[in-house]
Homo-oligomer: A and B are copies of this chain.
Amino acid sequence: MCGACVIEAVKQRMLSRRDVLKAAPLAAAAPAAALSFAHAAEAPRHVVDLTHTVSPEFPTYDGGPAYTVDKRFNFAEHGINAHFVTINEHAGTHLDAPFHFSADGATVDEIPIDKLVCPLAVIDIREKAAADPDASVTPDDIAAWTAAHGPLPDGACVALFSGWADRVESDGFRNADEAGVQHYPGFHAETAAMLLAEGAVAGLASDTLSIDIGASRTFDTHYLWLPAGRWGLEAVAGLDQLPAAGATLIAGAPKRKGGTGGPTRALALV
């Protein structure tokens, strides 16, 4: 809630309200609202944040700013802080909708919410990614996961865990070479094709900037995966805090009409 129409009333209100709050130790002394998931008969679950803090400098695929801000209202002058933000839909931890790589696929608002809350299968390729930034998740990596954990659950998201999130504050996240070609892991197109053929998986997630390898010029995985009515979640954080199987992903996604995707607050329940 914000707007120029409120400013005058707010200015008048501020001083008296501040005085009241200073004089109200009951509010200030309120105990922190501790969260408890404990249910008598269950083991407690906890929440893992899978979202990087996005700033204007957050690395993007195209190298441009993640967003710019118009700080239209500030507390000192207007009694409230309220900004207008111009943001690249594909900046920060964000979702790719089918429409991003198709002429008429589902836009981000059209993805049903129950496709965005799903079991999460984490494929750990840190070892090969450390040896080769152009490494990808292959069908063999999926087979190794299913051998250990059983079939991929219906509606699952398969997450590429390369360890790239640790590089997010450095040039090593985009990892561009002298020719400007980026180098980081993604999903091999054969993997996308295999998962589509099997049918169970709703989404792919990656802790890098793309579900394709950074060096891809043809975006094979994007062009297979998204037009098939699936979604992608890119620049995911926190995969190191998750088990390989058993977590529930809340992928979020803005519900903006006609959007090709957008920054989201992804999290997991473990």
Interface string of A1-43 (1 = CB under 8 A from B): 1111111011101101101110110111011011111111010
A153 and B120 CA atoms in complex are apart in Å by 28
Q: In the complex, A249 Cα to B266 Cα: how many Å?
A: 14
Determine the distance from Cα of A142 to Cα of B125 in the docked complex, in whole angstroms. 51
Q: Which of B30, B53, B85, B116 is close to A86, meaning CB atoms less than 8 Å apart?
A: B85
**CB-CB < 8 A to A87: which residues of B?**
84-87
Q: Which residue of B is nearest A43, CB measured?
A: B39
Q: A6-B219, A34-B39 are in contact. Are A257 and B90 (CB under 8 A)?
A: no
Is A76 among interface residues, defined by CB-CB distance under 8 A?
yes
- The answer on a CB contact under 8 Å between A89 and B85 is yes
A139 at the interface (CB under 8 A from B): no
Q: Given A35-B117, A42-B39, A117-B267, answer yes or no on A85-B154 (Cβ-Cβ < 8 Å).
A: no
- Cα separation A224 to B17 with both chains bound (whole Å): 8
> Is there contact, CB below 8 Å, between B256 and A199?
no
Q: In whole angstroms, how far apart are the Cα atoms of A88 and B220 in the complex?
A: 35
Q: Which residues of B contact A155 (CB under 8 A)?
A: 33-36
A116 to B269, CA, bound (A): 12
Return chain B residues, CB-CB under 8 Å to A28: 228
Q: Is A168 among interface residues, defined by CB-CB distance under 8 A?
A: no
What chain B residues lie within 8 Å of A228 (beta carbons)?
A: 21, 27-28, 30
Q: Does A101 contact B (CB under 8 A)?
A: yes
Do B85 and A256 have beta carbons less than 8 Å apart? yes
Report B-chain residues with C-beta under 8 Å of the C-beta of A30. 196-199, 228
Pick out which of these stretches binds chain B: A44-52, A127-135, A159-167: A44-52
Q: Does A34 lie within 8 Å of B154, measured CB to CB?
A: yes
A136 at interface, CB cutoff 8 A: no
- Nearest opposing residue in chain B for A29, CB measure: B199
Q: Decide: A61 and B3 in contact? CB cutoff 8 A.
A: yes
Given contacts A2-B62, A36-B39, A51-B255, 9 further A-B contacts (CB under 8 A): A3-B19, A3-B21, A69-B258, A81-B100, A85-B86, A85-B87, A85-B256, A85-B259, A113-B267
